[in-house]
Amino acid sequence: MKNQTFIVDVGVGKIIEEWLKKELYEVIAIRDINPDMEDLHIIEIAIKEDAFIISMDKDFEELVFKNKLNHKGILLLRLEDAVAEEKLAAIQNIIPQYVDEIKDKFAVYQNGKLRIRNF
């Protein structure tokens, strides 16, 4: 297994979970644990497991920047109307190229662009 663990939030998609597993990453799927899990609890799990969160939930941005919560890295996909294949294509472009660069950072992917911010 590759040494990066990803937490895949509800709404990101099973196809992304499967691709990450195929690429030999560890995957924690929130939909398999508790689809109604609070974002704060997801961050707690991520810290405990040293895992990077992939989500479409904009609330993570507020938790990190407004509330100054620690995390191990978050990728926010701003792809509200995207079908599964579009989300997968974005992940397939981002993860292989930027996985080390986005670790411990807050990254937003929108309109074909990846913005990486420190917190």
Which amino acid is present at 22?
Answer: K
Residues (pLDDT < 50) of the chain are: 1
C-alpha–C-alpha distance, residues 23 and 1, integer Å: 9
SS3 state at 59: helix
Q: What pLDDT score was predicted for residue 88? A: 96
The residue extents of the domains of the chain are: 5-117
The Cα–Cα gap between 47 and 72 comes to: 6
The whole-model pTM stands at 0.94
- pLDDT at site 2: 67
> What pLDDT score was predicted for residue 8?
98
